[in-house]
Amino acid sequence: MRRVAMSPRDNWQQMVEAAGLIFHSPEGEGMDRPYWDESAAYEFSAAEIDTLESAGNTLQEMCLAAAQHVIDNKRYAELGIPPEAVEAIEWAWEAEPPAIYGRFDVAYDGSGPPKLLEYNADTPTSLLEAAVIQWSWLEEQFPNADQFNSIHEKLIAKWKDVDSYLSKPVYFAGLDNAEDHLTLTYLRDTAEQAGLKTVQMLMEEIGWNEARQAFVDPGERPMFSVFKLYPWEMMVGEEFGPAMLKTYQSMRWIEPIWKILLSNKGILPILWELYPGHELLLEAHFAGDAHSMWDFVRKPLFSREGANIDVVRTGVTVETTGGPYTGPQVVQGLAPVSAFDDNLRPGAKRVPVLGLWMVDQECCGMGIRESSGLITDNLSSFVPHYFVS
C-alpha cells in the first residue's frame, strides 16, 4: 500500500458533478483541500485487497455473533438501548427483515492486519463516492488497473433480492442536508435500477395518522416500506418513537432496528470480550471499567463524523473534538498510526481510514477518507484507490 501523487484531471469538478457529487469542494475553516481529492491515490497489491476483503467478511461474522450475544444475555442497558426498544429488536433479529448495507472503518497501511475502528451499520454515507465517483476516475486514470469495488452491482442485486418483501412504493427519507440527500438519491437510483418503485422525502414529512394507526406520506397515503437515513437511537427517542415501536412488525424499516446493536460503539468492548486479542480488533472497554491502556481513544456510544472524541497518549489528551453527543462512552486502544507523506504540504502527513463496504453481508468495496490528524471527521477528504496484480 502506498500513497501516489497524482495530477487532477482537467475539469474534474464538472466530471464529478455530472455523476452527482455536488459538494466536492466545500469552503470553510479547516478545508485545506477539496473533499473529493484526486491529487493523490492509494495503490494496493492484489494480496492486500484480498486481506481487506477477508477482514470485512470476518468482522461481519464476529459482529453478528456479538449481536446474538447481546440479545441472549440481555445486555441492552450497557449499550444505552431503552427497554421499550427491546421487543422490536428481538423480533427483527428473528424475523430477518431486509437489511441492505453497512461500512466497517479500519486502520491499515499494508504492514499488519487491518484494525477495526467502528462499524457504521445503520446510516453510513460517502457511498456514491466509493461506488461511482472513484470508479469513473479509475476508468480514466488507470484503465488497465483494477479497483476493489463491486458496490453498485451488489446494491442492485440486493434490491432485487428483497423486492418481494417490500410494499410499493419504497420511501427513501433523510435529513435536509447535502450529504444525506446525495446518499439517498444514489440508493434510490440503485433500487429503481432493480425495478422498484420509489419516492424520496424528508424525515420530517413523515406523518402519523392516529385513527389509522399508520405512518403516512404528505398525501396521507400509508407508508409500509421506508429506507431511513436516520439513526435508530434518535428515532426511538423522538415523539413518534412509541408509535414506530408499536407498529414495527407491520412495517419494513431499512435498515432494521437490530442494526442499533452494531452501529453502537458499545459493540467494541463486547467484541473484545468475545474475541480477546483477535488480530482484527483493538482492545476496548466501557469507560469506567478497569484497563491498563495509556494510549487510547475515548468516544460516546452514539456519535458520528468524529464528534466528541478524545485521543489520549501516555495518559494525556493530545486531540479532541467537540460535538452534540453525550452519555456513556467506550475507550479503545489507539491503532498503529498509518501516516503517509502529504504531496501538497512538504513535511506534513496524511492519515487514511479505510471504509470497507458490506452489501448483503459481504465485503464488496472500499472507500478511503484521510485527514491531517488522527480523527476522521466531516472535513476529511475522500481519496480514490486502485490495485495492481
pLDDT at site 375: 79
pLDDT at site 259: 98
Q: What is the 3-state secondary structure (H, E, C) of the chain?
A: CEEEECCCCCCHHHHHHHCCCCCCCCCCCCCCCCCECCCEEEEEEHHHHHHHHHHHHHHHHHHHHHHHHHHHCCCCHHHCCCHHHHHHHHHHHHHCCCCCEEEEEEECCCCCCCEEEEEECCCCCCHHHHHHHHHHHHHHHCCCCECCECHHHHHHHHHHHHHHHCCCCEEEEECCCHHHHHHHHHHHHHHHHCCCCEEEEEHHHCEEECCCCEEECCCCCECCEEEEECCHHHHHHCCCHHHHHHCHHHCEEECCHHHHHCCCCCHHHHHHHHCCCCCCCCCEEECCCCCCCCCEEEEECCCCCCCCCEEEECCEEEEECCCCCCCCEEEEECCCCCCEECCCCCCCEEEEEEEEEEECCEEEEEEEEEECCCCCCCCCEEECEEEEC
Spatial neighbors of 34 by CB under 8 A, at least 6 apart, are: 24, 25, 26, 381
Structure confidence at residue 373 as a pLDDT band (50, 70, 90): confident
pLDDT at site 31: 59
pLDDT at site 379: 74
Digit-coded pLDDT (tens) for 331-346:
999 998 889 999 989 9
Q: What gap in Å lies between CA 208 and CA 275, rounded to an integer? A: 43
**Poorest-confidence range of 31-35, 233-237, 320-324?**
31-35
pLDDT at 144 over 70: yes
The mean pLDDT of 25-38, rounded to a whole number, is 74
Q: What gap in Å lies between CA 14 and CA 64, rounded to an integer? A: 41
pLDDT at site 279: 98
Structure confidence at residue 208 as a pLDDT band (50, 70, 90): very high
Domain locations in the chain as residue ranges: 2-264+339-388
pLDDT > 90 in the chain, percent: 85
Digit-coded pLDDT (tens) for 214-240:
999 999 999 999 999 999 999 999 999
pLDDT at site 27: 58
pLDDT at 141 over 60: yes
pLDDT at site 331: 96
pLDDT at 138 over 80: yes
pLDDT at 163 over 60: yes
pLDDT at 42 over 80: yes
pLDDT at site 30: 52
pLDDT at 28 over 60: no
| CA proximity to 303, closest of 374, 382, 375, 228 | 375
Give the distance from CA 262 to its chain's centroid. 11
pLDDT at 307 over 60: yes
Digit-coded pLDDT (tens) for 59-109:
999 999 999 999 999 999 999 999 999 999 999 999 999 999 999 999 999
pLDDT at site 276: 98
pLDDT at 49 over 90: yes
pLDDT at site 295: 93
pLDDT at site 26: 66
Q: What is the mean pLDDT of the chain?
A: 94
Backbone angles phi, psi at 352, to 5 degrees: -90, 150
pLDDT at site 3: 97
The mean pLDDT of 252-275, rounded to a whole number, is 98
pLDDT at site 306: 81
The mean pLDDT of 313-320, rounded to a whole number, is 89
